Amino acid sequence: EDKVVQSPLSLVVHEGDTVTLNCSYEVTNFRSLLWYKQEKKAPTFLFMLTSSGIEKKSGRLSSILDKKELFSILNITATQTGDSAIYLCAVEALGQNFVFGPGTRLSVLP
Amino acid sequence: DTGVSQDPRHKITKRGQNVTFRCDPISEHNRLYWYRQTLGQGPEFLTYFQNEAQLEKSRLLSDRFSAERPKGSFSTLEIQRTEQGDSAMYLCASSPGVDEQFFGPGTRLTVL
């Protein structure tokens, strides 16, 4: 059965800290891995990763994929209170079915 | 607004009633997905359309659930004989043919 696991499930940091969120997966016929940010509404897209070792970067956020070890990390540097959200990892598997992890709830305190 | 829209945004119904939700994807997106999300969980895949064809349906999905996309544009998700366990946020997403998905605001269903 396809599975996506995220850790930690919950994280509390202070503004300015750097955080690393983890996503590991077991899926049939991997196609891509996606990261989303979800606040009090539907998820919004952050990154799509298809190749190992190539870092994707957007401002203070960056992400990288390791297809050999079957995981990805999402880094957020110099965190701000506006980064508080649930960060979802999803993997596109065989048949174009997306499997989501449970999410990491990040709380950034002022 | 050219994003994904869903209607209604909230639905309260009594157990045993039927409900229908609508999703209007971003224009020209040929892929449309339905998900269900409960509190504290990531979205759970329900079903997926490419144009008007329903290509995949979750094995976890009860026969009480049915979805259509008759003209390859908007889609409807119907739940028959609702149960309290159906209470959740129902999310629709569309995709232009690459791997990114754009989500709608969701329909929150409460079954009393």
pLDDT of the residue at A80? 97
* CA-based nearest distance B101→chain A, Å: 7
Q: Do the beta carbons of residue B87 and residue B31 sit within 8 Å?
A: no
- What residues of chain B lie within 8 A of the CB of A50, using their CB? 99
Of A41, A45, A50, Cβ closest to residue B101: A45
Q: Do A34 and B43 touch (CB under 8 A)?
A: no
User: Mean pLDDT for each consecutive 10-residue tract of chain A (110 residues)?
Assistant: 91 97 92 90 88 92 95 97 96 79 95
Give tens-digit pLDDT for B6-40.
999 999 999 999 999 999 999 989 999 999 998 87
- What residues of chain B lie within 8 A of the CB of A90, using their CB? 42-43
pLDDT of the residue at A107? 97
More confident residue, B97 or B7: B7
- What residues of chain A lie within 8 A of the CB of B103, using their CB? 42-44
Nearest CA in chain A to B89: A42
> B4-7 contacts: CB < 8 A, separation 24 or more?
B4/B92, B4/B93, B4/B94, B4/B102, B4/B103, B4/B104, B4/B105, B5/B104, B5/B105, B6/B90, B6/B91, B6/B92, B6/B104, B6/B105, B6/B106, B6/B107, B7/B107
| Of A78-82, B89-93, B96-100, the least confident | B96-100
Nearest CA in chain B to A95: B56
Strand A19-26 with A71-76, pairing: antiparallel
- What residues of chain A lie within 8 A of the CB of B48, using their CB? 95-97
User: Does residue B61 register a pLDDT over 80?
Assistant: no
User: Does residue B1 register a pLDDT over 60?
Assistant: no
